[in-house]
Amino acid sequence: MKTINPATGKVIKEYSEMSFEEVSGIIYRANIAQKQWKHKSFTNRSVNLNKIAKSLKENKQ
């Protein structure tokens, strides 16, 4: 699978395909995480999302 810059047509990055088992495992873990997340308080969610936003800003390319 490739990510292609639509303006230039150049390949940005290539990714290997995942097996059915790998995808199933990711979906399973995401489902568990969502079930835990929905029980967190708004304040806790806000703190976590702000940490993620800060990390994204610090590591943008």
Confidence band for 60, pLDDT divided at 50, 70 and 90: confident
Max CA-CA distance within the chain?
A: 45
- The reported pTM is 0.62
Distance CA 5, CA 13 (A): 10
- In tens, the pLDDT along 1-55 reads 999 999 999 999 999 999 999 999 999 999 999 999 999 999 999 999 999 999 9
